[in-house]
Amino acid sequence: MANGHGGQRTPEHPASVSGPGSLSARTDGGPADGQAIRRLPSAGYGESAEFEEIQAGAPVSSGPTPVDPSGLVSMDAPSQYPEQPVTSGVNAGAGRGAPDLDEEDLLRLGSYMPALKFAASQPHASNAFRQYVRGLAARQAV
């Protein structure tokens, strides 16, 4: 039977036999070889096998990468861009202002409008962000 589900199955790369007692080692590819494979409790047909295959191929994380503090600037440090006004990039005050959006940009932002409107409706959203989203929505309605 070619690729059938019944009968004897011989692995292509069989594991070596473990030694006795203190010389024993896992041969089933368990936790000693990486992360433990987790199972999906209520997976649909074929989802569990795909989920396990993805986990088997994923490298085990050693934890978060530490941030290099040498690149951080403290809040009380002098400006790294003294020639630029503080309001540069904003449509208020001195500076070059925010970039203008062309039609292509507005079309691309259209798919994000539901998420932007939701974020603007949250209590922690700033008034500037709410005004920005209202302005985008008004420009798209035109």
Enumerate residues 6+ apart whose C-beta is below 8 A from 48.
39, 40
Q: Is the pLDDT of residue 114 over 60?
A: yes
Q: How far is CA 106 from CA 18, 92, 101, 103, 130, in A?
A: 64, 21, 6, 5, 17
pLDDT of 17-67, one tens digit each?
Answer: 767 777 676 665 555 455 677 777 777 787 888 888 877 776 666 667 777
Comparison of pLDDT for 109 and 32, the residue scoring more: 109
For the segment 107-114, the average pLDDT, to the nearest whole number, is 85
pLDDT band, very low/low/confident/very high, at 1 (cuts 50, 70, 90): very low
| One-character DSSP codes across 6-40 | SS----SSPPPPPPSGGG----S--GGGSSPPP--
Burial 16-32, CB ≥16 within 10 A → b, else e: eeeeeeeeeeeeeeeee
